[in-house]
Amino acid sequence: MIGDKKILFSGMQATGNLTLGNYLGALKNWVTLSDEYECFYSVVDLHSITVRQDPAELRKRARNLLTLYIAAGLDPEKNCLYYQSHVSGHAELAWILNCFTYMGELNRMTQFKDKAAKHTDNINAGLYTYPVLMAADILLYQADVVPVGKDQMQHLEICRDIAQRFNSVYGDVFTIPEGYLGKSGAKIMSLQDPEKKMSKSDENANASIYLMDDPDTIIRKFKRAVTDSDACVQYRDEQPGIKNLIDIYCACTNKTPDEAVKEFAGTGYGDFKLAVGESVVGVLKPVQERFDELSKDKTYIDKIIHDNAEKANYYALKTLRKVQKKVGFPERPRI
Ligand code: TRP
């Protein structure tokens, strides 16, 4: 707890262009949660270098992501928005937790297996211990809740296991975090293959809506979205393309699928797709405008980065010093 609020931690990687899926599935939720919890939202750049990055590009994307957090509606005075690499406690705690994690556990991580299969030329130890770093992120802030996608649930489980193991040896050092899966329906699928999740690494540019796509591009991509030959706007699994478009429309307009189906009864797919595209433009345009404005104000963003790194570091050190003492490291001289 900080004050009378529970603590929330989550992070996003600054790799690839963020998609509408990242926004509706994660960022938008983060904004909603930020009233109720004391939130730490990190740009997890330590995680990013588990696969090769272009340094200048990574730096740029990381700053853009942090700016986007604010543009999406996270108040940087209330939420701690910071770079993981600005708080050395993440790496230090990760090392300690590595010594409390079994290789057998890490071998079971499906994301590692997938990534190792994809990057066969660079299966590095960082990729392997990635879940331990993620555990350190969460435990460092004594987070109570962690909003994550389904694909990260296994990592959250291992985090809980590591924390419990550590606590059973040293007493109640870590808060055991709970996962928080966003509302269902927020899972946005590819516009070209509605059986697949919308992904920032999709090779087909028409499959994903990027957060920075201009209105014309957004409308064009929706016009090309894959549907079916039923010619009827219904919300059912047999029409995955239409179902996905309804989900997107509902997430953007806060309507229910039932309301959407009624609204579009008798409407052709062409007009329906246009309406969905327009609802997305309506949601993304203000975020884009705010992003452009913020990007111009270097002094302001620099101050946010400075102040929030300080705040994150303060809370991180509280936990880290306790852990270091527990495991038997000597008292630190004042340096
Ligand atoms: N691994 C997460 C992802 O790729 C990002 C992440 C890193 C994270 N550390 C975290 C998410 C801690 C939640 C909590 O999506």
Q: Are 10 and 27 in contact (CB under 8 A)?
A: no
The pTM score is 0.93
Residue 194 lies in a domain: no
Same-domain status, 288 and 305: no
Residue 303 annotated among the catalytic residues of the structure: no
Ligand 1 atom with the smallest distance to the CA of 133 is 9
Same-domain status, 90 and 116: yes
Same-domain status, 40 and 123: yes
Residue 115 annotated among the catalytic residues of the structure: yes
Per-residue pLDDT at 151: 86
Residues 155-191 pLDDT 10s: 999 999 999 999 999 999 999 999 998 664 457 999 9
What is the CATH number for 286?
Answer: 1.10.240.10
Find out whether the beta carbon of 127 lies less than 6 Å from any atom of ligand 1.
no
What distance in Å separates the CA atoms of residue 121 and residue 84, rounded to the nearest whole number?
26
335 residues of the chain, pLDDT tens digit each? 999 999 999 999 998 788 998 898 889 999 999 999 999 999 999 999 999 999 999 999 999 999 999 999 999 999 999 999 999 999 999 999 999 999 999 999 999 999 899 889 999 999 999 999 999 999 999 999 999 888 899 999 999 999 999 999 999 999 999 999 866 445 799 999 999 989 888 889 899 999 999 999 999 999 999 999 999 999 999 999 999 999 999 999 999 999 999 999 999 999 999 999 999 999 999 999 999 999 999 999 999 999 999 999 999 999 999 999 999 999 999 88
Same-domain status, 37 and 131: yes
Q: Is the dihedral of CA 108, 114, 119, 120 positive or negative?
A: positive
Same-domain status, 166 and 221: no
Catalytic residue, chosen from 78, 150, 183, 197, is 197
Residue 196 lies in a domain: no
Residue 188 lies in a domain: no
Q: Which residues contact 129 (CB under 8 A, 6 or more apart)?
A: 94, 98, 101, 106
Provide the domain count of the chain. Answer: 2
Same-domain status, 21 and 95: yes
Find out whether the beta carbon of 304 lies less than 6 Å from any atom of ligand 1.
no
7, containing H or E segment? strand 7-12
Domain that holds residue 287: 205-292
Cα separations in angstroms, 42 against 21, 74, 90, 165, 284? 18, 12, 11, 25, 22
Centre of ligand 1 from the C-alpha of residue 307, in Å: 22
Find out whether the beta carbon of 137 lies less than 6 Å from any atom of ligand 1.
yes
